[in-house]
Amino acid sequence: MGELKNIAEEQKKLVERVKDLGRQVYLANVGLLALVEDEGRKQYGKVLETAKQAHGEVSNEWVLVARGLVDQLVTEASQLKVAALREQAQQAREKILAKDWVAEAQKLFQDLVQAGEKRKAA
């Protein structure tokens, strides 16, 4: 009888752990969504401001944003140089080889859970 009670308690603990992990994953998704929305607003504002400086005010904001995106792409493409790109690729490769990906992923997950908790509380 005691053995069945132990099994039931273990299953209950397992269910609670799965629920907690599910909650953490949910909060991490909410946190990721908050970060993406914030970054999207920043990039949209940056593109809009760049376009306004280059083209002045336009009656349709979306046309202005499209022009800004094209201008930004042209500017960034003209700044790229093959040697600099190779150097960046080599540095990225070295960083990738040196990373502790498990620890990095755990930290990122915890950061997203915290961001999700903040977003949900707001």
Q: pLDDT for 47-57, tens place per residue?
A: 888 788 877 77
Nearest 5 degrees, angle CA 13-CA 16-CA 20? 135
Tokens standing for residue 104: 């990095």
* Distance between CA atoms of residues 54 and 46, nearest Å: 12
| CB neighbours of residue 117 within 10 Å | 16
pLDDT at 64 over 60: yes
pLDDT tens figures, 93-109:
777 667 676 777 788 88
Looking at 14-18, 30-34, 92-96, which range is the least confident one?
A: 92-96
The pLDDT of residue 96 is 66
Tokens standing for residue 11: 């299953």
Q: What pTM was estimated for this model as a whole? A: 0.52
Domains of the chain: which residue ranges? Answer: 2-121
pLDDT at 82 over 60: no
The pLDDT of residue 93 is 74
Mean pLDDT across the chain: 81
Amino acid at position 65, single letter: V
Report the SS3 class of residue 99: coil
